[in-house]
Structure 1
Amino acid sequence: MDSLPAPVAALVRIMPPWLRELFLTPSAFPDDPRKYARNQVLHFALVGALPVALIGPWFAPISLTLYAGWEWLQWRYLGGDLSDGLEDMAFQSAGVILCVTLFWPMLVPMGLILGAGVALRRGL
């Protein structure tokens, strides 16, 4: 946490422990297909769709911006993989966009991307 800018470090200190742990340990789960799949589904549903569903469509750009900042900080200061951050953003963004537009066919390419990530981790 020493590498974080002071305002970010102060924010991290007041995070609930479970959220702090998620922030400080970015992981692409390169050796665990199940954890990878769970991680991406949670990015889609809990980080992407749920906040916008509860707060409203006006919150979509705020949600996208806040999460982009989260991923950028992990990449820039905590050694997170850029590719993992971009993939997490893709799933979070898809959840936000689906919630706002109700364009359900979006689930097809997201399912394919999820399947590709699982296949990669299984060595297929």
Structure 2
Amino acid sequence: MNKFLVLCFLLLVSCKSYQIDADSLQSQLQKTTPVIDSLSEGRDITFFKGENLEELIVLNGNGEKVVLKTDTPIVLKVTRKDGFKFRYYLNSMSLFENEFKGMGPTYLVGGMIHKVKVDSIASIKVKP
């Protein structure tokens, strides 16, 4: 019984949550190698992919910077200013101009694709 309680406690303690603001996430993505996609209309679009990030700089509960390695799945819990909430997997999201786009946590079975303008985001929680 004691081992079970210790295990439960460790699981609760190890489930850390961090914060990142939309502008910081946007600037970190823009520092990655851009992806250029040619459209049939003869113009190219440039976007940035979350899977190209090697690390993500976030803030812990004390406001201190923490560097998360992206070799493990990272979930971004996004809340828009109108209160609507959804999740992205960092490795499935992209940034095009001023808009994030990505798949939610059910991307293994098709998932839901969400698009959100950077300036309409109220908060982003990060769960490694």
TM-score normalized with structure 1 length: 0.28
Q: Which has the larger radius of gyration?
A: 2
- If each structure's strand is expressed as a fraction of its own residues, which one has the higher value? 2
Q: Taking CA–CA contacts closer than 8 Å with sequence separation of 6 or more, which of the two structures ends up with the larger relative contact order?
A: 1
- If each structure's helix is expressed as a fraction of its own residues, which one has the higher value? 1
